[in-house]
Chains A and B, each alone.
Chain A
Amino acid sequence: MANKPQGRSHQLLQILLYPLNWLEERTSLPGRSGIVGGIKYFLFRKVPSDISWGHTLGSAALTAFIVQAVTGVILAMYYKPDPNSAYESIRHITDDLWAGWLVRGMHRWGASVFIILLFLHMGRVFLYGAYKYPRELNWIIGVLILVLGMMEGFFGYLLPWDQTAYWATVVGVNLQATGPFVGPFLGDVLRGGSEIGPDTLARFYSLHMLVIPGALAALIGLHLWLVVRIGVSSPPWSPTEAGRPEPGPPPAPRKGLVAPAPRNGLAAPVSRGARRR
């Protein structure tokens, strides 16, 4: 580091950057970047120039998940997971607490928004053929996230301990218990006995606020890590699609068919021209 006199602004910058450099030095291996380098890479990594709104559905789902996490933590401060007071605690949250209805309402409706966004995001990935090599693993992780997300909804549904919640869960668990071999066992494990009662509620609460969200968070982390590693795909119909062979291979005229010669002859140079832009 040269010790030449520098301008004020440079000195200021050095002071501001000091904590960042401190962090970086303490989180990096020789020759590899640490936290700060990682974040820089994340922010300034190149993405295909033709991505657009379709690609925002993943982060929209992430936002919905974060909303669920935050509102869920607040609800957990007031909710009481036992059949004698669960229902009353929900009413207390909705009626008495300042903005309690807002937090509960956001958690309740956010769950549906989250599920819808998952389906939309999955639809986007499907439409773009983005589950193909090398993104197969991320598709699988995504499906697991979807299943866990729906299970999260199932276990959360009982918590208000009202009639809808109770009877939907009675039927839901009965249905699981119809499964072959492990079915009845699974039913008993979920209920924590042969009836839906205090043990069931505690079980569902623990699954709903610890086990499944933990698994979801881990899978989401893995999912995003892979997204950054591999990179997001270009829209396949884009004239500048990243990865398309260049120049585009002229579609081989099929034998036995009248080859649409003029179209082929024209299309190739045009699309090649577009790709040069």
Chain B
Amino acid sequence: MNRRLEERRAYHARYKQTVKTRGKPFFPYAMFHDTVMSLLVVCLIVALAVIWKYTANEGTGEHDSGWLGKLYDEKADPGTTNFVPRPDWYFYFLFYLLRIFKWPDSVILGTVGIPTVALLLLLALPFIDIGRERRPMRRPVAMTAAVLTIITMGVLTYKGATAKEPLAAENLVLVPKWAAKQGFAGNQTAVDGAKIFAQVGCMNCHTYLGAGTSNLGAPDLSKIGKTSNRGVAGFATYVSDPSKFGNNVMPQFKDLGADNLRKLGTFLQSSGTCSPKTDTCPAAGGQ
């Protein structure tokens, strides 16, 4: 332990000595490199701004996007909810983590757990990797860890950039729109069911009024109350254990509990069967 400290101190003392006797002055040698690099950085930033401006049209629509995106989007409107939020690219990896750790049990891992652990590891790096060796080829563990980290971050960022599946929090903001369109806004049980539907991962397989992703052959559920018409209790039983109905793809949702399943069932039964004009739905219990 003590020897290690001594070795390090000796190393740094030798470093100082070598630099003093054989180093070169910062100005002009290093400063020259720094200046060239800084000029390049400024040129790059200006170039990006110019490309952004001159390839985009002055408008807010889809077709106004240039190579680097639109000049501006439409003004924020808390009333529209069909907007898919995208953070800046350097948050894509976090964004994608949240798709891996699903609502509601493990989402904390994605939002808080993993980022915190990663950050702590990064901070603690100099105290974990305490060997004196600095040559990359002789630090196989550190180098492997670094390469794996880079690959992971790269993949997560790429997946986050191209991901289509919506996030629970994104789906949730759609619920009022669904309620208005389907006409179950007046039925609080159905609205609650819609919120559960938006959050527990149904939309990773099912689409609903254009939102969600279609996966594993799961049907669109926008009109399921009409087409399938199992009734509130029927849907609740189905969702609770789909395998009983020969559906071995869809997971069981027994754990949601009877109350939540009833809400889900009400929502499903209200989909396609309510009248948006009169705001009336079939009485709970299905037709």
Contacts and interface: CB of A to CB of B under 8 A. Distances in A.
Q: Do A and B bind each other?
A: yes
A132 B30 contact: no
**Dominant secondary structure of chain A at its interface with chain B:** helix
Contact of A162 (B33, B74, B132): B74
B111 A105 contact: no
A175 B98 contact: yes
B135 A236 contact: yes
Interface string B7-32: 01001101110111011111101110
Interface residues of A, number: 92
A130 B72 CA distance: 42
Interface string A62-103: 111001000000000000000100010011001100000110
A139 B24 contact: no
A193 interface: no
Given A48-B18, A105-B52, A147-B119, A133 B76 contact: no
Interface stretch (B77-85, B217-225, B251-259, B270-278): B77-85
Contacts of A113: 41, 44-45, 48
Contact of A243 (B12, B119, B139): B12
A44 B27 contact: yes
A126 interface: yes
Nearest to B45: A110
A21 interface: no
A150 B130 CA distance: 28
B26 A163 contact: no
Contacts of A106: 45-46, 48-49
A269 interface: no
B12 A59 contact: no
A165 B73 contact: yes
B49 A129 contact: no
A109 B72 contact: no
B91 interface: yes
B146 interface: yes
A64 B34 CA distance: 13
A133 B8 contact: yes
14 contacts: A43-B26, A47-B24, A47-B26, A56-B38, A60-B34, A62-B38, A134-B8, A140-B126, A147-B119, A154-B91, A160-B72, A167-B76, A171-B85, A236-B135
Given A45-B26, A47-B19, A139-B126, 5 more contacts: A49-B23, A67-B41, A167-B85, A168-B87, A175-B98
Interface of A: 42-49, 51-53, 55-57, 59-60, 62-64, 67, 83, 87, 90-91, 94-95, 101-102, 104-106, 108-113, 115, 117, 123, 126-136, 139-140, 143, 147, 150, 153-154, 157, 160-172, 174-176, 178-180, 183, 195-196, 231, 233-234, 236-237, 240, 242-246
